[in-house]
Amino acid sequence: MKQRLIIGTLSAIVFCIIAGCQSDATSDLNTSAATQEVKITEAEKIALGRAIFFDTNLSEPAGQSCASCHSPEAGFANPNHLTPTSEGAVKGLFADRNAPTIAYSQYSPEFYYDGNGYIGGQFLDGRAGTLEIQAGGPPLNPVEMHNASKESYISKVAEAAYSDEFKRIYGQNIFADSNKTYAAIGDALATYERTSQLSAFTSKFDAFQKGDASLSAQEKLGLDLFTGKANCFVCHPLSNEDLTTVPALFTEFDYENIGVPKTPNNKFYTLSKEYNPEGVDFIDTGLARNPRVIADGRVPENRGKFKTPTLRNVEITGPYMHNGVFTTLKQVVAFYNTRDSDPSRWGVPEVAENVNKDTIGNLHLSDAEEDAIVAFLMTLTDGYPLNNN
């Protein structure tokens, strides 16, 4: 398991030259660029990917970019903290999940089964193997960027100010083949998503790890609880078993059902019958929806499981959980503390099967201890010391 994880992630962390880091889908694109002897630097590709990521003309109707749901100001999650799930380009149509942070998602290995469970992938159920593949999802998703076809999305890229740069990097004839163009857009977006702009490792916690900052007594207590009595580290570890040269990611990208309740009467699911026949009664079975898991015949044991998220920047990425049911970190920690000791406070889990009862649910934390864990979580926001108010 671990070897494969390292291999799967290597391409993500190497600051690579053009031919060295491509997915299969795009390697021939670069060959054609190379035969034209175009000199393309990594920085140019990153700038192109960034321009596409922030381009609000690429939705139908115009107005929504990737950054609309994954904004740097919100730790690359949705800057609209008011709705549990994210509104698409078409008003009133909502994604069925809360937009997660995509910072640090470059470290999620390609989706695989390790003999015990599934690991990695992109999306909360891992159904996109890589960032390149993932980037092809939102443009055509009717409740996200809502383009009718690859071709209509591509035609918007072809009209953009960066279109000449796109051709210079991916080949003058790139727009002749829509599948290649689509893959090239994904390649540019993924290249940007793998930069330190999204994985900064500049939190107070990082400074503390390097001996450049000290934690307050409350933050220190929170850290001790996090790695001790509260068991958080079991799923959100402080050192990566595999990526040993990378600072703590607070996840190993595996899947758990922690028994999160549904958002009561959520009006922010798409209530249109076409996209969500179940309406407010929609149940998200998480990993069990992944086509690979279905094909492997492992649906029952994976119902209700979601990918363990990083906790970096969690101060600014609310609301929390796949369905956005919690609005504050205090609620999240109180949920872990009292899910099983005070169940009436939380309601039934969205999916009752496979709920993890070993490490969470009845932690015997005092109110002050809950607050200390929240204080520790707030040291994980990138941009220290500027963000330290």
Name the site residues for ligand HEC (rule: CB under 6 A): 64, 66, 68-70, 86, 88, 95, 97, 99-100, 102, 105, 122-125, 131, 134-135, 138-139, 144-145, 189, 230-232, 234-236, 256, 258, 260, 306, 308-309, 311, 314, 317, 320-322, 329, 332-333, 336, 356, 359-360, 373
Q: What angle do CA 228, 107, 2 make, to 5 degrees?
A: 75
Nearer to ligand HEC, 212 or 301 (CB): 301
How far is it, in rounded angstroms, from Cα 358 to Cα 288? 21
Residue 372: other Cβ atoms inside 10 A: 25
Q: Considering the complex, what minimum distance in angstroms separates the CB of residue 24 from ligand HEC?
A: 19
Let me know the angle formed at the C-alpha of 347 by 321 and 340, rounded to the nearest 5 degrees: 90
Instruction: Please choose, from the candidates 45, 52, 97, the residue with its C-alpha nearest in 3D space to the C-alpha of residue 323.
Output: 97
Indicate the residue among 38 and 298 with the shorter CB distance to ligand HEC. Answer: 298
Q: How far is the CB of 33 from ligand HEC (least distance, A)?
A: 22
Residue 157 neighbours by CB under 8 Å, 6+ apart? 52, 58, 163, 166, 181, 185
What the block records as the tokens of 140 is 């055509």
Residue placing its CB nearer to ligand HEC in the complex, 156 or 180? 156
Compute the residue count for the chain: 389
Contact 339, 259 (CB under 8 A): yes
Taking the C-alpha atoms of residue 113 and residue 302, their distance in angstroms, rounded to an integer, is 12
Instruction: Name the minimum Å distance from CB 387 to ligand HEC.
Output: 18
Least distance to ligand HEC from the beta carbon of 125, Å?
A: 6
CB of 39 to ligand HEC, least distance (A): 26
User: Which residue's CB is nearer to ligand HEC, number 32 or number 331?
Assistant: 331
CB of 319 to ligand HEC, least distance (A): 7
